[in-house]
Amino acid sequence: MYLKLPNKIIDSLRRMLPAFIVATIVTFTVGIYYAILNSPPDYLQGDSMRIMYVHVPAAWLALSSYSFLALSCIAWFIFRNPIFNLFAKSIAPIGATFTLIALVTGSIWGKPTWGTWWAWDARLTSMLILFFLYIAYIMTWQTITNKDLAAKISAALGIIGFINIPIIKFSVDWWNTLHQPATISKLSAPSIHISMLTPLMLMTFAYVLFLITLFLIRYKIEILDQKILRVSNQ
């Protein structure tokens, strides 16, 4: 019975898809307004820091998406329920896209801040590895025709790749990197001013709604692909 719970939750969320789409648009509109028109420039970086409102939420959701992928892979190994493969397959391209956004916006932000588009910084490098892990997971499903074998290899890859997540998170503490230490997620009060924190949180919430919306659409596509595959094999 408990194995049917994830499917029931997804079915309930799918019925709310129009509401998620509207909420995403509204939240992005409000977040962009606060980020561009109602937040001050940084006293050192000036207006170039506004890319933070795109970069930081994208990076957070890139990590969160892979964590969800890895948990889905673990659940598949334990329960052998194909719904967990569908979860992982649905989130993978979304997570890869967020990772690419984080890398590109980080590069754009890095040019005026660090004086270079790219540096083999520990966090930058580990984020690049995360992007390749997403691509490897996606390509495993696309290139291996034996779906049982693809499920096993992709699940193992998803779980092993999770090692990279704490490396990304704590890279600024473990190594001397160009990135600044945590300013928001640390245990003490965030060192970022409320005038910047508010639009950042609004944009993060918009990104979360956007992720859920994309995931529900991707999940529906995966279900349709499964049905088409079953019909073609008959």
Mean pLDDT of 198-222: 96
- Residue whose token pair is 């979304």: 94
Q: Rounded mean pLDDT of the chain?
A: 89
pLDDT at 228 (0 to 100): 81
pLDDT at 105 (0 to 100): 96
pLDDT band at 183; cut points 50, 70, 90: low
74-88, 108-122, 143-157: segment of lowest average pLDDT = 108-122
Mean pLDDT of 79-104: 96
- pLDDT tens digits for range 5-38: 677 788 888 889 999 999 999 999 999 999 998 8
pLDDT at 175 (0 to 100): 74
Single-letter amino acid, residue 128 = L
pLDDT at 7 (0 to 100): 72
Mean pLDDT of 74-103: 96
Tokens representing 110?
């890095």
Does residue 197 have a pLDDT over 50?
yes
Tokens representing 203?
């944009």
Q: What angle do CA 154, 158, 150 make, to 5 degrees?
A: 5
pLDDT at 2 (0 to 100): 47
- pLDDT tens digits for range 119-170: 888 899 999 999 999 999 999 999 999 999 999 999 999 999 999 999 999 9
Q: What is the pTM of this model?
A: 0.91
